[in-house]
Each structure stands twice: as C-alpha cells, then as structure tokens.
C-alpha cells in the first residue's frame, strides 16, 4: 500500500478543513489582541508614556502572532487552490487594504518615538489605530460576504470569473459582521491590556472591554437572528462523492432561507459553538466589571473560538458559496488539492506545528508580567 493511502482522501479533506479552522482561530486569538490594542491605543492611553506602555504590551509578540495569518494563507494556497484563487482575486482591493494596514503597524512601532514631538507621535498613534481597526473591520466584512455567497463562476474548463465589485462587499449584513469583528477584537485587546498593565490604563481598558464584550454579545445574537430570518443559505441537493477528484461543478446546489441552520438540526451538538460564543462574551463582561484579569482573558478567547467555529459549522461542507452560480460553490469535498499533496502537507504540519506552539508558549512565559512605566523610562530600556 502506498503510504498516503493510509488516510483516505475524504478524511484528509476533513482534516484540512479542521486545520484551516484551527489556523484562523489561532490568528484571531493571538494577533487578534494586537489588532484590538492598536484600535484602542488613542483612547485607552492619554499621555505619551501611557501610549508607550500600551505599545510595549504587544511590541515583543506581534510579529510571532502574525505568523498565524501567514500559515492560514499558506494553508489556503496549498490545500484549497480554488478558494485561494477566488478569494485573493475577488477580494483583491480588500486584501490590499488589509495588507497596507498591517504594513503600517511595524512602521508605526519603529518611527513613532524617533522624534520628540507630540504632534509627530500623535500622528503615528493614529496610524497604529488604522493598523488595528481596518483589518479587524475588513476581516468581518469578508466573513459576512462569504455567508451570503460571493459572485463568481466557472466556465467548462474551470476558469474562474469574479463578477463583483469592492463596494458591493459593503452591504448591511457584511457591515454588521464587520462591527462584530471589531467589537470582538477590541474586547480581546482590552482583556490583554487588563492582564499586562496597571493603574489608569487598566481601568480604561476595563471600561472599553465591558462595552466591547456587551457589543459582541448583542451583535453576535443579532447576526444569528438575521442569518435565520433574512439570509439565504446553500444546500447540496445532488449526490456528492467525498473522495472523488476535485471538480466544483459536479453537484447541484440550491439557495434557500434558513439553510445555514440545517446542520444544527441534524447535529444538535454543533449548538455548542454559538453557545460558547455567547457565554464567552457574557463571562468577559462579568469579568471586566469584576476585575478578574485571567478570567476575562480566557473568556475573551472562548468567545472568539465559539464565534468563528459557529461560522465554519453553519457552512459545512461549504467553504465559499457562489451567489451567481450556486453549483460552482466550493466545498470541502470538491475544492482541495490532490490526495498526495494533502498527505505530505499533513506530515509537515504534524512535525512543525507543535514546534511553533512550543516556541510561542516559551516566548509568552519569558515575557509574562505587567509592563510598567519604570521599565519604559529606564535609560537602558530597549522599549519602543
């Protein structure tokens, strides 16, 4: 038996769907608080030294956290080529805006304190705000559009045609998802600041975090109601072979109201995901008001896990529906790389992902503790 046949094609596809989910959640949980802190920077810190303290809570870790985004993009490119082709071409301007905002972040860190000018530093603080807010918003808007379906189709040779516009992405439901994403990551950033700072900064972070967690709770619930009442989901009506070669056109798909909720009726255990999203946000709200530092950080991560898992479980097996040609929708069973490619990538992942996790855990252990003003103002400090 050939080695890669030890794991069947359909199982490998399912494993890579799970891995993609893990990478996206990993990015939201790790780099998510970096984005949230950037969004909060002009509001949670008033003086120059306070803003330097806030920046230095994420300064040593943001680069490592951003690796999860790179891993997610790499996984999409290698494991789901049609998904990569459609999303990175159809969402080109949105992706460019995200990358531009993310590029601003290291530039802001490096240049902010190069001049002893209040006006100069204030401008860079708003640059860092853009670097946090814009990706947070656009990531949510993208998810909102995915849930509604993206306007793409294939010809008979599987050549991809995208027929949408950038401003078409800015529809009401997608904007609600964008606001949910911002609220969720501001909640997470606030929880990080509560853990890593003290005094006035931590108190302001608690206030912003309480508001953000409440907004997360309300927006997530509202999004679920909207998805149930006003958004058409997608359902496969023909037989589909989970182990056949990838060809998105070998199926029939219909759009119908409430289709994104059918998985919960068929598999009630999936309801754990939205419940965890709501309970995590509620626990974070209670934790912010009760000044429970580690509890609120754990609750924030729990809410992120539940919210992102809800999207994946609601859509399964779809990974990118088509709004103009439903049968062209990409699913777990017909949009992956070959059997051998998925197997080789899985072997590489099994080897290197634990190393990344171990290194990340070690870094956080070394850097654990609160960032104090004294450490920032010390003459021998290497702080930003």
Confidence at residue 2, expressed as pLDDT on a 0 to 100 scale: 66
* Domain interval for residue 53: 27-377
Regions of the chain with pLDDT less than 50: none
Tell me if 20 is assigned to some domain.
no
Query: Is residue 7 included in any domain, yes or no?
Result: no
Spatial neighbors of 368 by CB under 8 A, at least 6 apart, are: none
What is the pLDDT, as a whole number, of residue 296? Answer: 94
**Pairing state between β 232-236 and 330-331:** unpaired
Whether 191 is in a domain gets the answer yes
Quote the pLDDT of residue 292.
Answer: 82
Per-residue model confidence (pLDDT) at position 180: 97
Residue 140 lies in a domain: yes
pLDDT given for residue 380 in this prediction: 57
5 domain-assigned: no
pLDDT tens string 30-76: 999 999 999 999 999 999 999 999 999 998 888 888 888 888 888 99
The verdict on residue 98 lying in a domain is yes
pLDDT at res. 382: 66
Comparing C-alpha atoms, which of 374, 299, 37 is closest to residue 193? Answer: 37
In a domain, residue 14? The reply is no
| pLDDT for 80 | 93
Share of the chain above pLDDT 90, in %: 64
Whether omega for the bond prior to residue 317 falls within 30 degrees of 0, making it cis, is: yes
pTM, two decimal places: 0.93
Number of domains in the chain: 1
114, part of any domain:
yes
């Amino acid at each position: 038996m050939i080695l890669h046949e030890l794991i069947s094609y359909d199982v490998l596809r399912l494993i890579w769907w799970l891995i993609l989910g893990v990478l996206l959640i990993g990015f939201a949980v790790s780099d998510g608080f970096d984005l949230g802190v950037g969004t909060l920077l002009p509001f949670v810190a008033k003086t120059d030294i306070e803003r330097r303290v806030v920046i230095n809570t994420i300064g040593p870790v943001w680069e490592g956290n951003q690796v999860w985004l790179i891993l997610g993009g790499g996984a999409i490119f290698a494991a789901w080529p049609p998904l990569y082709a459609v999303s990175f071409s159809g969402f080109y301007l949105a992706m460019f805006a995200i990358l531009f905002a993310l590029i601003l972040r290291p530039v802001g860190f490096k240049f902010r304190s190069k001049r002893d000018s209040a006006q100069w530093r204030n401008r860079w603080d708003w640059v860092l705000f853009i670097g946090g807010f814009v990706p947070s918003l656009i990531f949510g808007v993208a998810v909102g559009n995915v849930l509604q379906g993206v306007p793409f189709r294939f010809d008979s040779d599987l050549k991809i045609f995208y027929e949408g516009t950038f401003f078409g992405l800015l529809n009401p439901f997608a904007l609600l998802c964008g606001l949910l994403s911002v609220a969720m990551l501001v909640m997470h950033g606030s929880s990080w600041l509560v853990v890593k700072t003290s005094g006035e900064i931590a108190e302001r972070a608690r206030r912003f975090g309480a508001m953000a967690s409440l907004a997360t709770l309300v927006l997530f619930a509202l999004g679920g109601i909207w998805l149930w009442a006003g958004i058409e989901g997608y359902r496969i009506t023909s037989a589909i072979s989970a182990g056949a070669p990838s060809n998105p056109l070998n199926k029939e798909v219909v759009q119908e109201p409430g289709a994104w909720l059918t998985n919960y009726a068929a598999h009630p255990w999936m309801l754990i995901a939205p419940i965890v999203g709501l309970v995590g946000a509620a626990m974070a709200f209670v934790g912010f008001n009760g000044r429970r530092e580690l509890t609120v950080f754990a609750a924030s991560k729990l809410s992120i896990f539940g919210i992102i898992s809800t999207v994946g479980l609601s859509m399964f097996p779809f990974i990118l529906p088509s709004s103009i040609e439903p049968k062209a929708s990409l699913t777990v069973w017909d949009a992956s790389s070959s059997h051998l490619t998925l197997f080789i990538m899985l072997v590489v992942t099994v080897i290197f992902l634990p190393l990344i996790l171990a290194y990340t855990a070690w870094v956080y252990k070394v850097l654990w503790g609160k960032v104090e003003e004294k450490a920032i103002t010390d003459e021998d400090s290497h702080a930003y």
